[in-house]
Structure 1
Amino acid sequence: MWWRGLKLCGRVLLVCLQPLVWLGFLACSIFLLGVAQQRGWFPVSGISGGGHGGGTAVAGGWICPMMCTAAVQRAGRCPVCAMELVPATGSVQGAAVSGSVQIDAAARRVANIQTVPVGLATGGRVVRAVGRLDYDEGTRRTLSARVDGRIEKLFADYTGVVVQAGDCLAIVYSPLLYAAQVEFLLARGGGVAAESGAAGSVRGSLYESSRRRLLELGMTEQQVEQLEVDGEASSRLELVAPISGTVVEKLAVEGQYVKEGEAVFQLADLSAVWLILELFPEEAAGVRFGQRVQVEVQSLPGRGIEGRVVFVAPRVTPETRTVGVRVVLPNPESELRIGDYAR
């Protein structure tokens, strides 16, 4: 009976060892398959599950899913992001060569990718600030009395009157001017052209000096020429506007005595005004000469005006720690008022 027990034990042992034998056989097969693939004993199919070592080449090459590098001829991992390389299709390979990325519609919807048409537009951040309108200092003029006298008549008798270049704004009575005109007429008379020699030279020099003196006393070239034509001296001097613009300050009244050099009028051309802004240094760092600025004036709500940057201060104001920026605004209809706020 002992042999029957031995036979039973052998059958039990065979049943227990059979799965282990099959597992060992399967492991050996997989190992031998891997060795065969690495040595290139048979070609690899279109998609490889390995890819950790130097895999075999495929027709389209291997490429990183994140497009970090160009396509390579063997599988492996991306040297940049360490992702496993995948076989490159025709569209992906063309995108890698051209530097563009092509994604089908389904992939865009899944990734929530939105696209917009390419076009030209201004970049950079938007700087918002509030400033005040001021005169264009380049167009301001001061009309002064060039000779001692009395304001006999004021034609521009209020601030804000609009004048044209050459308009008479005031008449000044001056005995000194009368004496200078008489001297000029005497030098002019006596026939300068008829005389010759030293006398003619002296008379010509006296004529030129007296003419120059009249110009220094405030007379214009046209007024001197008219004096030569009339041949009669006058103690009244017309103060004419040097530019077309607006009287922004009236500094004298009728009957007032004025000294030589004393200001009578302040004029300004208001066809363009300045917008004075104070920006923080980090904001002013991106502002350049000639940049266009969109402005909305407080007195004209909802109406945009386009200006241009004409000056950026080269220093930071110590008291406010700001940088002054000047913007010129067109004002052809004189709608912008000095002192108004704008942003």
Structure 2
Amino acid sequence: MSARIWTGMALAGLSLALGAAGGYWFAQQHMTSMPTGNAEATPVSQGERKVLYWYDPMYPQQKFDKPGKSPFMDMALIPQYADAAADNAAISIDPSLTQNLGLRLATVTRGPLANSLEVAGLVSFNEREVAVVQARAAGFVERVYARAPGDVLQADAPLVDLLIPDWAAAQEEFLALKHSNDAGLLAAARQRLRLLGMSTTLISQVERSGKTRPVLTLGSPISGVVQELDVRTGMTVAAGATLARVNGLGRVWLSLAVPEAEAGAITRGQAVEARLPAFPGEVLAGTVDAILPETNPDSRTLRVRVELPNPDGRLRPGMTAQAHLSRSTSQSVLWLPSEAIIRTGRRALVMVAEEGGRYRPVEVHLGQESAGKTMVTQGLTEGQQVVASGQFLLDSEASLKGLEAPVAPEPMTKATVPLHEAEGQVVAIDNAGVTLAHGPFKTLGMPGMTMTFPLADPALVVGLKAGDKVRVSVSQTDAGLVVERLEKLGGQP
């Protein structure tokens, strides 16, 4: 083999060796990290710099208290120096690569606290606008007008002609006494007609015409839909029998299914905007009429009733709608784009952008969500820049480097957590807590209902029994409402 070939092979081997050494040096320089896990190592001097621990760049979550060979890879452990900790608490990216990685930033802003909720609803009859048509006296059905359930009627539209024999005899007697010039007897006869169920208008017609009117025409008292028509020609009906039922359409109900977690934001009288597929582009305004006390056990939703005006009768029961409920307060809070949040299951994180292309994971405590934004109660300040797109790429890089966001302090201590009070009655006491039939928690916007509460201290129910009236104070936690105080009302044994 020639000397030229040997020389070429030697140069190639030298290049490979230099490349491997360069790659290893590059890994040492760029794959450093500062984990903030639960393992802490005593600083060790190495020359003039203090070493916190040694680690394998491929498994940075594992820390070692002395140098050596990695048990995972065929390479030496790398030291983590104390003076490099601050620099390694964040991920550094060349600003020129930001656009290539698809990173998009958003600003933490401050604004009023607003509750906004989109829920589905179903139009139904207004059960408060119902008219019942009954027979005022026993008689026979002479005629049933061409009506059927589902027909829309105007007020006073005729339904049934009823022949009442007792009225004929009483009216004949009244007309005979009219010519006797005995005012007392005439007044008594007129009173008898009223007691038999005749209206003042009908008595006046008989008196003016001098003819008996034993046939009564019953009409619809209001405009609306015929719900029931339980009468046929030739039937005998008793006094007080229900002949028809009419439901008005002047105002209808929109029944909304509100998630249990959002029930505290709903109040009676709250403005609602409804949009129906039947009328695209049209917004109907209404108000919350009632918050029903029962929760659907299957869907865990609360039924909220909204009253909508329906002057032209276009809204028909059975139509579907999408309702928007909103409420603003004077309280100013921090808002963060919801898309910027990384939810790990245990915590919520965001990637905060710093100067020089550095990105740091920060744990945040969150509040309610509205219109694509989420309220921040702890962890950020107004004006900070957070990553709204591409944050999961940075989070993956942080995990590979062993970076963890420090645990954020609790926003409130136990002593400063606000308590919400109501009065109620003890229904049952068991291992799960105390079951109370309580009145409304006005500060929560929560209506009265019967539910079981966990206890902050089991000693709270000592001396209490089912049936006792109490004043209860609860705190709102991540696990729900917890009883903090339970006081028996005075005057009880």
Q: TM-score, normalised by structure 1?
A: 0.55
Give the length in aligned residue pairs. Answer: 217
- Deviation (angstroms), 1:204: 5.2
Do structure 1's residue 181 and structure 2's residue 149 form an aligned pair?
A: no
Counterpart of 2:224 (choices 216, 233, 245) is 245
CA–CA distance in 2 between the matches of 1:250 and 1:238? 15
CA contact (8 A) 2:149 2:228 kept: yes
CA separation of 1:242/1:113 partners in 2, compared to 1, >3 Å: closer, same or farther?
closer
Partner in structure 2 of residue 308 of structure 1: 287
Counterpart of 1:323 (choices 298, 302, 306) is 302
CA contact (8 A) 2:167 2:193 kept: no
CA contact (8 A) 1:156 1:170 kept: no
Do structure 1's residue 295 and structure 2's residue 285 form an aligned pair?
A: no
Counterpart amino acid of residue 243 in structure 1: I
Partner in structure 1 of residue 131 of structure 2: 141
Partner in structure 2 of residue 14 of structure 1: none
Counterpart amino acid of residue 191 in structure 2: S
Counterpart of 2:193 (choices 207, 211, 223) is 211
Counterpart of 1:220 (choices 196, 199, 220) is 199
Give the secondary-structure state (helix, strand or coil) at the position aligned to 1:229: helix
Give the secondary-structure state (helix, strand or coil) at the position aligned to 1:243: coil
Partner in structure 2 of residue 260 of structure 1: 239
- Deviation (angstroms), 1:310: 1.4
Counterpart of 1:336 (choices 299, 315, 325) is 315
- Deviation (angstroms), 1:191: 1.3
Query: Any gaps of 5 or more consecutive residues in structure 2?
Result: 1-104, 323-493
Query: Any gaps of 5 or more consecutive residues in structure 1?
Result: 1-110, 194-199
CA–CA distance in 2 between the matches of 1:168 and 1:146? 16
Which deviations, in whole Å up to 9, do the C-alpha atoms of 1:101-121 show, x marking residues without a partner? xxxxxxxxxx986999x9xxx
CA–CA distance in 1 between the matches of 2:272 and 2:106? 36
Which deviations, in whole Å up to 9, do the C-alpha atoms of 1:222-279 show, x marking residues without a partner? 1121111112223211113222333333222333332222222211221211112232
Which deviations, in whole Å up to 9, do the C-alpha atoms of 1:166-217 show, x marking residues without a partner? 3432211121232333343345441133xxxxxx4xx256234313214xx2
Q: Which has the higher strand share?
A: 2
Partner in structure 2 of residue 21 of structure 1: none
Counterpart amino acid of residue 334 in structure 1: G
Counterpart of 1:278 (choices 254, 257, 260) is 257
Within 5 A, what are the aligned runs for 1:47-196?
Answer: 123-193=113-183
- Deviation (angstroms), 1:153: 1.6
Q: Which has the higher helix share?
A: 1
Percent sequence identity over aligned pairs: 31
Structure label with greater radius of gyration: 1
Counterpart of 2:213 (choices 234, 259, 272) is 234
- Deviation (angstroms), 1:292: 1.3
CA contact (8 A) 2:190 2:203 kept: no
Which deviations, in whole Å up to 9, do the C-alpha atoms of 1:18-46 show, x marking residues without a partner? xxxxxxxxxxxxxxxxxxxxxxxxxxxxx
RMSD: 2.9
